Every structure is written in structure tokens, then in C-alpha cells.
A and B are shown apart, each in its own frame.
Chain A
């Protein structure tokens, strides 16, 4: 891990944030309709980089937007003419403030699927041009369980720059990646890096890890689930699910999409938008066959993809333990409870 480390305090941190907002295209958690979401900010007063633990949406929409134009088309007597859409609005250089550990980890997990098989150039470009600065995760929320899922919070390299609370009102700004270090150096900040600071950061993460209410024995759950495809428990745990798509849309790692056209007269735009395996039509094929016609099979797919299949293929767990889905679920279903109940046998 890199050792570029700046010691500062609350006002110093505010100044650092202000400078970033002045210099870069910055996104940060902004309140709207009583919830926080990552939005473009022009002033520090508009946003709250230390928002409550839960932003409703994860940071995912800044890399994989809820809808994106794929192409434009015009139909006339000679046939259909297809043209490229205008430039990607998220392709420029930008900085995101206040990103939680789970959200940043979610991006690392998503990277695996985006660089496998088909390389999504739009996504790669957005990732390359973005610098991610962490929020000060001090205490775990009621639904957080990121530390249970093969994720070493203290030695994580999910952020480019990390902001950590120290003792006596001190705050540390720590560069984790090269991108982060270049940015900190461009601000003419001096690396102080006393050993005390490193100890304090380590202590901070120890107390952070101790604050988790939810703990899971991940390797055991994963091993058990592999053999439980036919478990009747799936029917019980999914019985009160209402088959909406909320959990998938706000999940930092769900990446399914659908294609739809918006057409007026002979011209239109083709869009790529979020889709979800909880949706009854998700696996409906031409001709009418649907391999997952009932709710529990869709829930089984969701749980197994999150905790078994992705790990098999890419070596990382798809669920990052952020708890977004449990917080926003209309009927309060928690994926933590679901997998634990299925793996209980």
C-alpha cells in the first residue's frame, strides 16, 4: 500500500473538498426528496460527503447509468440508417466524493464482468477517468455486513484516496493508488506520514470492524449454498417478496440490462436500461417458454448468483454487503437473512 499520507483537521478537510469541487467535475451525495444520491455539485454546501451510511442508490449509476443511449436510427424508403449518439456524458475527468467502502468495492467487483468476454469500452473509460474519494465510514449501519464477505477493509485498494478519522479531531487523507497520489501532489500537499498516523488508521479500522452487528461465516455459507440448489427453503424465504425490481436497481453490483426503443414517427433512439432477474418477464423467451415462471426460482437465481456463481467464475463475491437492498425493500427482505436461512440446514 502507498504511504502518501496527509495529516489535517476538520477545516483542512473542508478546504480540500472545496478545492476539489473548484478544480474538477465533482459528484457527491446530495439530498433530494429526503434521500441521498450521488449528483454533480458546484459548491460544498450543496452536498454532504459524510452523508448518513446509506445513500439510496449506490455509486453504480455514475458508471452504469440507469439509462444510456446506444444509437440513433432513421427509417425511410431506402431502409434504416443508424448513427452514433452524442458523446458519453460521464466520459470526462471527474472526482467522486463520499464513496462508502461497499460502493467502491462494488465497482471492483463489477470490473471483473466488464473486462471479461466483451470489453465494455464506455465503462472502462468512465472508470479510468474517475478518482474515487472515500467517505469517513466510522460506524456500521444496521444492514452493513461488508467485512463478512472476503473484504479486508483496512488494506483495501477500492478507493483512490481514503479519508480516515484519527484521534483528537485529526483527519488523515491517504493516497491508495497512483491516481490518488498524483491528485494529492497536484494540490501541493505534503506527505507527513508519521508512524503514529498509521497506528491510528489501523485502530480506526479495528473499531470500525467491531461495530458490525451482522456477521456471516462467508466460506461456510458459500460452501453450503453450492449444494442447496433444490432447497425448499427458497420458497419460504421468498414468500413475501412482491417481485418488484428495487433491490436489483439500487444494488451496487447488479448489471443486467434491457434494450428498448423510443420512437417518434420514423426516427428514434435505442436505449439500454436496467433490468432485473426478479422481474417475471426477465427470462421469458420468444414462443412463450419461461424457465423461471415462479417467484422462488427467481429469488434462488438472485441469491445463488450473488453468493455462488460469480465467485465460481471470477473469484469474488457479487454481493458486497452494503445493505442497500434491505433498506429500500418495500417489504424489508434482507439478503443477509435469506442466505443465512437457506444455509442454516
Chain B
């Protein structure tokens, strides 16, 4: 999977036609084969743009108000990234006319060790769901599978599960890299940053981390697109997908196989209500 040349061509054209103010892509890292998100305003930088299977970071993150400030942006998205972008469009965070989307039919990315990460193996939608231009051949929607480690965790006893999660929360350093790398965490003022409030716990304790991560997990229930930006960003290497995948499974099974961001203007399971909705999974 190497679309570097095509992306460079499209970007040159976009700048030449004055369609965008800046472009968000990837460039090679200076010290190893990983890649860095790369924001350019100057067409002279275009030759540095690359796209290969090492282009892992979800660039929809750079459409948050903090980064873009109502500018016209061009960007590259993979399948999962486009789902996040779709949700951002639905939730009125981005104006469709302000962005130019190059969609990639993704064949799966590679991690630091050169292996396909679990979310790419289990990917439901490798093709972009929203785009202005599409590169590659679409392979269509895949079958949804319930994650193996979620199943394993669900079979454990309640206290074992509690201990496991407590270990995760204790190892958290509350740097908030998970929140900042998530394209769908775009609130201008996050509720867990309210340090003067006694309702939210700002301390870097296990209970503080649990409070922050559980709040975050619930705010992303039915919205998480499983791009795993958070997990890749976590300096403590915590298995953060566990917090989201269980929600995803429950929603998939109970709400007409709903998956976040797949369709235009789909506001997600938590925005719709009908009296026939199942509720037997609620504690």
C-alpha cells in the first residue's frame, strides 16, 4: 500500500486551484520508519508527503477546532478515520464544504514490530465512507467479529475483572494523551478538567484515573470507531480498547447491528429512542 505519489499530485492540484489553506498528511520520521502527521501550508513541502502502511495516526484529529480555526483543510483518511470524520460532520464539528477528503481503501496498517494490529485484522470497514477522491479498490464491508480478548475478559469472575481494571487505572499517569489523540473528544472544555469542582476528581490517583477513563469511555459509547489512536498514544501502553469494545459489542448486538459513523447523518444509538429498545443488558 503506497499512495505517496497520487497524494502529492492531488495536493499540488488543490494548492494550485486555491481550494485549501492547508493539507494534513504524513511524512517520514527522522529517526526510524514510523511516520509523523504533517501539516503543510506551503506547496514547496509537498514532496515530503508519504502514505504507506505505516501511516497509522488518525488525521481526523487535526480537524478539531483547536487545530483548524475555520480554515479550508485537505486531508488523507483511511476507512476508520473516515468513520470518525463522518461522525464529526454529523455532530457539526466540521463543515463539509471546508474540507477536501482523499479517501484510501485501506489494506491494513503495520505497527512498530511490522505486524498487523488487531483492529486492522478485525476491521469492519476498510473503505472510506466519506470522500471527495478515492484511491485504491474498494473491498466492501466486512463481517463484525467480537474481539477475542473481550470474550476472554467477559468469562472471568467479577472480582478478577475488577482487579484487572484496577491495575490498568493504577498504571495510568493521567497525561490525557488518549483524550487529545481521539478525534471525537473535541469539547472545548472537558468535564474531567474541572479542577475546582469536587464532582470531578482531578488528582492523579487510581480513583481519579478511573473517574476520567470511565467518563471518557461512556462519552464514546456508540461513537468509538476503533481507530485505536488512544491506545497507540498511551505512554503506559494500557489496553484502552477494552473500555470501548465492550460498549461497541453491546450496542451492535442490541441496536440493529449499529456501528458508529458508517452512514451519513447517523447520530448513533444514544441519540435515538424507541419504546421497543431492549434494556436487559443494563445493570
Residues of A whose CB lies within 8 Å of any CB of B are: 32-35, 56-57, 66-67, 142-143, 213, 239-240, 242-246, 248-250, 258, 260-263, 268-269, 271, 273-274, 276, 280-281, 295, 326, 328, 330-334, 337
Contacts and interface: CB of A to CB of B under 8 A. Distances in A.
11 contacts: A34-B237, A35-B236, A57-B173, A142-B31, A242-B181, A258-B195, A260-B201, A271-B205, A281-B193, A333-B36, A337-B30
The list of the 9 closest CB pairs from A to B, nearest first, reads: A330-B233, A260-B202, A273-B204, A67-B204, A271-B203, A244-B180, A244-B177, A328-B235, A245-B175
B146 to A, nearest CB: 23
B246 interface: no
Contacts of B232: 330
Given A33-B236, A281-B193, A331-B37, A246 B177 contact: yes
Interface centre among B39, B201, B204, B237 (most CB of A within 10 A): B204
Contacts of B37: 240, 331
B204 A274 contact: yes
A67 B212 CA distance: 15
Given A331-B57, A333-B36, A242 B180 contact: yes
B34 to A, nearest CB: 6
Given A242-B180, A295-B66, A35 B205 contact: no
B198 A261 contact: yes
A334 B202 CA distance: 28
B236 A240 contact: no
B245 interface: no
Contact of B31 (A143, A245, A328): A143
A273 B238 CA distance: 20
B83 interface: no
Given A261-B198, A330-B232, A331-B37, A245 B204 contact: no
Interface of B: 29-32, 34-39, 57, 61-62, 66, 171, 173-177, 179-181, 193, 195, 198, 201-205, 207-208, 229, 232-233, 235-239
B117 to A, nearest CB: 13
Given A142-B32, A330-B233, A332-B34, A242 B61 contact: yes
Contacts of A269: 203
Contacts of A35: 236-237
Given A142-B32, A273-B174, A262 B203 contact: yes
Contacts, number: 114
B204 A33 contact: no
B205 A246 contact: no
A330 B275 CA distance: 43
Nearest to B35: A332
B202 A243 contact: no
A244 B179 contact: yes
A250 B173 CA distance: 9
B36 A263 contact: no
Interface-central residue, A142, A260, A276, by most chain B CB under 10 Å: A260
Given A245-B175, A245-B177, A331-B37, 7 more contacts: A33-B237, A33-B238, A33-B239, A250-B173, A269-B203, A334-B31, A337-B30
Nearest to A35: B237
Contacts of B198: 261, 263, 268
Contacts of A332: 29, 34-36
Contacts of B57: 330-331
Contacts of B31: 142-143, 213, 326, 334
B207 to A, nearest CB: 7
Residue among B34, B180, B181, B208 with the most chain A CB within 10 A?
Answer: B180
A331 B195 CA distance: 27
A181 to B, nearest CB: 35
B177 to A, nearest CB: 4
Nearest to B37: A240
Nearest to A324: B235
A274 B209 CA distance: 13
Nearest to A261: B198
B208 A262 contact: yes
A242 B38 CA distance: 12
A261 B208 CA distance: 10
Contacts of B32: 142
B51 to A, nearest CB: 16
Which of A143, A248, A249, A331 has the most chain B CB atoms closer than 10 A to its own CB? Answer: A331
A271 B174 CA distance: 14
Contacts of A260: 195, 201-203, 208
A60 B51 CA distance: 38
Contact of B66 (A57, A67, A243, A258): A243
Contacts of B175: 244-246, 248-250, 274, 276
